[in-house]
């Protein structure tokens, strides 16, 4: 039991922290085998200037210690030496968590690499996030790959069989909400819940310069209604996620988990149509850094390039302290660029006592009262049956 509680202590500790470097977003490759119409990185894909293995190793050697490595791309599993790259950050920077998104199209590569990460990095938690952007036809149409949905689902099933007993590996689905899929995401959520095999299902709003801008035609009202219908999924997954904790700890964990997710939904709704100030400063460029596949660096994925690591000998600490990055951080404070990007909402909120002590518990409280408010009766019955299961 003590071990179980100890695993969750970092979550409590994370609620109260001084502002310090916390997250590195690393585009490990530009190679990709998908053609997503939502991809904000599409104009950089499959270029020939990926960072070399030695350059990435140098990044880990020069970066300060930090908590979370967000791997990005391209399709990250197309990067050779991915496990070894993550190991450098585990050893040199003492990361605690790595986030691995995937389109799920290459099960052999994925499993070979995840096995190796588990072996090389025994102390880190892994979030393996499969992309599913709708039911079969919609998903395949958005991502431009025939049978993508079926193939990714098969990978999710195989991952469940293979990693069911590995508690430090969470298998999630990430869905990007667009004009083409928002009407069927409750059905997708139901399908995945019944299907089993995942630990969480998370939702982002399409962002950045998508190749198909029409996918961004969503209203805040439509999003608000959808979010309200998606919260019951989070409640069901939260029960599963914290099932092994003692009752009192479980309650606190659920409050922060659900409150945090509702808080994110709130900001997505507020910032969808135009920028609206977050209740905390955005700490992009101070507590986090984005490194593109070719070593260009930025404060966040939505903003322009602040500099190139090649000009700093691939020294991350030097880039973070550079005049360019200081200017960018100053510019952000005045930029009114408030966005819906969950990774940066998450990262920035960790350094705000106001958010941790007030906004998140309040969001949890509010979501209790909106419970099923927008949910049609038939859907409500299905949720109740699933909650009882
Ligand atoms: S969103 Fe990801 S999987 Fe899709 S094209 Fe872009 S990099 Fe590839
Ligand atoms: S508010 Fe959004 S766009 Fe602006 S700096 Fe932060 S993460 Fe980037």
Compute the average pLDDT of residues 226-233: 93
Q: Which residues of 335-358 are buried (b: 16+ CB within 10 A; e: fewer)?
A: eeebbbbbbbbbbbbbbbeebbee
Compute the average pLDDT of residues 358-386: 79
Structure token digits, residue 171: 């298998």
What confidence score (pLDDT) does residue 95 get? 98
Ligand 2 atom closest to the Cα of residue 344 is 7
Q: Is the pTM of this model over 0.85?
A: yes
Confirm if 128 and 111 have CB atoms less than 8 A apart: no
Percent over 70 (pLDDT), the chain: 92
Compute the average pLDDT of residues 10-37: 83
pLDDT at 300 over 90: yes
Ligand 1 atom closest to the Cα of residue 35 is 5
Q: Which helix (H) or strand (E) holds 222?
A: helix 220-241
Q: Which residues contact 369 (CB under 8 A, 6 or more apart)?
A: none
Residue nearest to atom 4 of ligand 1 (CA): 36
Cβ of residue 207 lying under 6 Å from some atom of ligand 2: no
Ligand 2 centroid to 299 CA: how many Å?
8
Q: Rounded to an integer, what distance in angstroms lies between the CA atom of residue 389 and that of residue 378?
A: 17
Q: What is the SS3 assignment for 85? A: helix
Confidence of residue 13 (pLDDT cuts 50, 70, 90): low
Domains, the chain, ranges and CATH?
20-218+283-351 (3.20.20.70), 219-271+352-389 (no CATH)
Residue nearest to atom 1 of ligand 1 (CA): 39
Q: Rounded to an integer, what distance in angstroms lies between the CA atom of residue 138 and that of residue 185?
A: 10
More confident residue, 196 or 258: 258
Q: Rounded to an integer, what distance in angstroms lies between the CA atom of residue 309 and that of residue 362?
A: 41
Residue nearest to atom 1 of ligand 2 (CA): 338
Compute the average pLDDT of residues 38-54: 96
pLDDT one-digit tens code per residue, 125-151: 999 999 999 999 999 999 999 999 999
pLDDT one-digit tens code per residue, 144-195: 999 999 999 999 999 999 999 999 999 999 999 999 999 999 999 999 998 8
Q: Report the mean per-residue pLDDT for the chain.
A: 93
Confidence of residue 381 (pLDDT cuts 50, 70, 90): confident
pLDDT at 369 over 80: no
**How many other C-beta atoms can be found within 10 angstroms of the C-beta atom of residue 41?**
18
pLDDT one-digit tens code per residue, 248-295: 899 999 999 999 999 999 999 999 999 999 999 999 999 999 999 999
What confidence score (pLDDT) does residue 97 get? 98
């Amino acid at each position: 039991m003590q071990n179980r509680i100890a695993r969750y202590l970092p979550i409590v500790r994370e609620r109260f922290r001084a502002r310090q470097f916390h997250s590195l977003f690393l585009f490990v490759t530009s190679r990709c085998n998908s053609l997503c119409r939502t991809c904000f990185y599409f104009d950089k894909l499959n270029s020939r200037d990926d960072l070399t293995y030695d350059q990435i190793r140098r990044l880990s050697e020069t970066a300060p210690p930090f908590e979370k490595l967000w791997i990005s791309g391209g399709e990250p599993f197309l990067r050779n030496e991915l496990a070894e790259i993550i190991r450098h950050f585990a050893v040199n920077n003492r990361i605690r968590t790595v986030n691995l998104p995937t389109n799920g199209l290459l099960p052999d590569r994925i499993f070979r690499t995840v096995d190796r990460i588990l072996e090389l990095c025994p102390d880190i938690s892994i979030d393996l996030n499969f992309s599913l952007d709708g039911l079969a036809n919609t998903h395949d149409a958005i991502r431009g790959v025939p049978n993508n949905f079926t193939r990714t689902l098969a990978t999710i099933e195989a991952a469940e069989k293979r990693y069911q007993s590995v508690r430090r590996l969470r298998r999630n689905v990430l869905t990007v909400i667009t004009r083409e899929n928002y009407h069927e995401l409750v059905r997708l959520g139901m399908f995945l819940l019944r299907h089993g095999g995942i630990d969480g299902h998370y939702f982002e709003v399409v962002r950045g310069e998508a190749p198909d801008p029409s996918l961004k035609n969503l209203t805040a009202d439509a999003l608000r209604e959808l979010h309200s219908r998606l919260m019951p999924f989070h409640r069901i997954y939260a029960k599963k996620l914290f099932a092994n904790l003692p009752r009192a700890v479980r309650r606190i964990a659920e409050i922060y988990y659900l409150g945090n997710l509702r808080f994110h939904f709130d900001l997505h709704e507020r910032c969808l149509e135009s920028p609206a100030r977050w209740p905390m400063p955005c700490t992009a460029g101070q507590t986090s850094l984005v490194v593109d596949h070719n070593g260009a660096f930025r404060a966040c994925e939505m903003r322009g390039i602040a500099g190139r690591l090649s000009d700093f000998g691939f020294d991350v600490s030097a880039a973070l302290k550079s005049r360019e990055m200081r200017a960018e951080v100053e510019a952000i404070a005045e930029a009114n660029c408030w966005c819906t990007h969950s990774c940066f909402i998450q990262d920035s909120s960790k350094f705000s006592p106001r958010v941790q002590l007030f906004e998140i518990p309040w969001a949890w409280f509010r979501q209790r009262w909106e419970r099923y408010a927008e949910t049609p009766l038939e859907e409500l019955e299905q949720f109740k049956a699933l909650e009882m299961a």
